[in-house]
Chains A and B, each alone.
Chain A
Amino acid sequence: MTKIIKTEKVQAWYGTEKALNGISLDINKNKVTAIIGPSGCGKSTFIRCLNRMHEVIPGAKVTGKVLVNDVDIYSAQVDPVDIRRKIGMVFQKPNPFPTMSIFNNVASGLKLNGITDKKFVAESVEKSLKMAALWDEVKTRLHHSGMSLSGGQQQRLCIARALAVEPDILLMDEPASALDPISTLRIEELLQELKKEYTIVIVTHNMQQAARISDYTAFLLNGDLIEYDLTESMFTKPNDKRTEDYITGRFG
Chain B
Amino acid sequence: MNNLQAQYNKHMIRRKATNYIMLTMMVLCAVIALIPLISILTHIGASGIKGLNLGFITNLPSPVGETGGGMGNGLVGTLILVTIASVIGIPLGVLTAIYLSEYQQIGIFPSVVRFVADSLLGIPSIVVGIFAYVVIVIPMKSFSAFAGGAALGIMLIPIIIRGTEGMLRMVPDSYREAGLALGMRKWRVIVSIVLPTAIRGIVTTIMLGIARISGETAPLLLTAFGNHYWSTRIDQPIAALPLQIFNYAISPFEEWHNQAWSGSLLLILLVLIISIVSRVATRQQKFK
Q: Which residues of A contact B (CB under 8 A)?
A: 51, 53, 56, 58, 81-82, 84-85, 88-89, 91, 93, 95-99, 101, 108-109, 112-113, 143-145, 148, 158, 161-162, 165
Indicate if B24 sits at the interface (CB-CB under 8 A).
Answer: no
Contact of B183 among A82, A99, A143, A158 (CB under 8 A): A82
Indicate if B253 sits at the interface (CB-CB under 8 A).
Answer: no
CB distance from B283 to the nearest CB of A (A): 12
Binds A, one of B72-80, B160-168, B173-181, B206-214: B173-181
The verdict on A91 contacting B178 (CB below 8 Å), with A98-B197, A101-B287, A112-B192 known, is yes
User: Is the pair A165, B182 in contact by a Cβ cutoff of 8 Å?
Assistant: yes
Nearest 6 interchain pairs by C-beta: A85-B183, A109-B182, A95-B174, A89-B181, A145-B287, A99-B196
Residues of A within 8 A of B285 (CB): 99
Known: A97-B175, A158-B178. 8 other contacts (CB 8 A): A53-B177, A53-B181, A81-B183, A89-B181, A97-B193, A113-B183, A161-B182, A165-B182
User: Is the pair B182, A84 in contact by a Cβ cutoff of 8 Å?
Assistant: yes
Contact of B182 among A58, A82, A99, A108 (CB under 8 A): A108
Residues of B within 8 A of A162 (CB): 181-182
- Give the B interface residue count (CB, 8 A): 24
Q: Which residues of B contact A (CB under 8 A)?
A: 105-106, 172, 174-185, 188, 192-193, 196-197, 284-285, 287-288
What secondary structure prevails in chain B residues at the interface with A? helix
Residues of B within 8 A of A93 (CB): 174
User: Is the pair A148, B182 in contact by a Cβ cutoff of 8 Å?
Assistant: no
Assembly CA distance A143 to B288 (angstroms): 8
User: Is the pair B177, A56 in contact by a Cβ cutoff of 8 Å?
Assistant: yes
The chain A residue with its CB closest to the CB of B180 is: A56
Residues of B within 8 A of A108 (CB): 179, 182, 192
Residues of A within 8 A of B197 (CB): 97-99
The verdict on A148 contacting B287 (CB below 8 Å), with A112-B184, A165-B183 known, is yes
The chain B residue with its CB closest to the CB of A145 is: B287
Assembly CA distance A81 to B172 (angstroms): 21
User: Is the pair B183, A91 in contact by a Cβ cutoff of 8 Å?
Assistant: no
The chain A residue with its CB closest to the CB of B171 is: A98
Assembly CA distance A161 to B175 (angstroms): 13
CB distance from A62 to the nearest CB of B (A): 15
User: Is the pair A113, B182 in contact by a Cβ cutoff of 8 Å?
Assistant: yes
User: Is the pair A109, B183 in contact by a Cβ cutoff of 8 Å?
Assistant: yes
User: Is the pair B183, A97 in contact by a Cβ cutoff of 8 Å?
Assistant: no
The chain B residue with its CB closest to the CB of A52 is: B180
Residues of A within 8 A of B184 (CB): 81, 109, 112-113
CB distance from B17 to the nearest CB of A (A): 40
Assembly CA distance A91 to B180 (angstroms): 12
